[in-house]
Amino acid sequence: MVPEIEGAWWTVAGNPDLGKLTGDKQQPVDFAVWQAADGTWQLWSCIRGTKCGGTGRLLHRWEGKRLTDENWTPKGIAMQAELKYGETKGGLQAPHVVLIGGVYHMFYGDWENICCATSRDGKTFRRRVNPNRRTGMFTEGVGANTRDPMVIRIGDRWHCYYTAGTPKKEGAIFCRTSTDTRNWALSRIVGMGGKSGTGFCSAECPHVVAPAPGQYVLFRTQRYGQDALTNIYHATDPMDFGINTDKHFVGTLPVAAPEIVLHEGQYYIACLLPSLKGIRVTRLTWVKRR
């Protein structure tokens, strides 16, 4: 099963006005799209290059009535790092939202850790603070820049795929599993190397989809901007998309930071604008290849 873009793009979000925190070179980057409890569509994006201090990143929110609408309404800054919970100043990155048992779970990075916040309505989120008064659930270590989480249910466990650097500063896609989203197994590298390379940013924005039972497709971004590139891998084992091999490689898409959404039987793909000044959406289809 190989993904193909179907139809024209429409822009849902632009480069937001952050007031006094607006940066001259700010860019909306890694984001999440989901439907809230009231039926509206929500989009939260990491905005980098802001004047919030630290590493310059925060989360901004938009809202749309329908997924197919253009130019969703900006709703302002949604979240900034909280140092009191151990988060890196200006370090919030790459949210991803999953509805679990009637509760929306937002997984995000704080520059060094993967964290979680929850919500009943899918709009207002509250950090899930651990017994140690920290939000970080796990990390690959100081300096690894553990980031870009996405969570999917496979079998009886939640699988969290994310990006981090190895001890050799090589970019890799890791996965941890959990039955409750609080206690996570030890990490395992599930994808790195091959034609995508081993640079620190060679395994960005991992996103895994199961378009058919027992078939798993990994989207792995290589480049942002006008020359955006995401490599696609297909496997029947969700814990093995290839390490220093291209045996699972099936193609590419000219997009960056893709988010795949299934709504009313139709797949959609959202990604960054080539200008890095907003986010766009179009339909996605799947083609069977031998």
Model confidence at 136, pLDDT cuts 50, 70, 90, reads: very high
Which residue(s) pair with 217 in the sheet?
A: 209, 234
Model confidence at 1, pLDDT cuts 50, 70, 90, reads: confident
- Which CATH number belongs to the domain containing residue 77 in this structure? 2.115.10.20
Domain housing 58: 2-287
For the chain, give the longest Cα–Cα distance: 54
DSSP state of 170: -
Q: Taking residues 250-271, report their average pLDDT.
A: 97
Model confidence at 8, pLDDT cuts 50, 70, 90, reads: very high
Is residue 185 pLDDT above 80, yes or no?
yes
Number of domains composing the chain: 1
Q: Taking residues 260-278, report their average pLDDT.
A: 97
Q: Answer yes or no: pTM beyond 0.75.
A: yes
Q: What is the DSSP string of 88-149?
A: PTTB-EEEEEEEETTEEEEEEE-SSSEEEEEESSSSS-EE---TTS----B-S-TTS--EEE
pLDDT in tens, 61-107: 999 999 999 999 999 999 999 999 999 999 999 999 999 999 999 99
The pLDDT value given to residue 289? 79
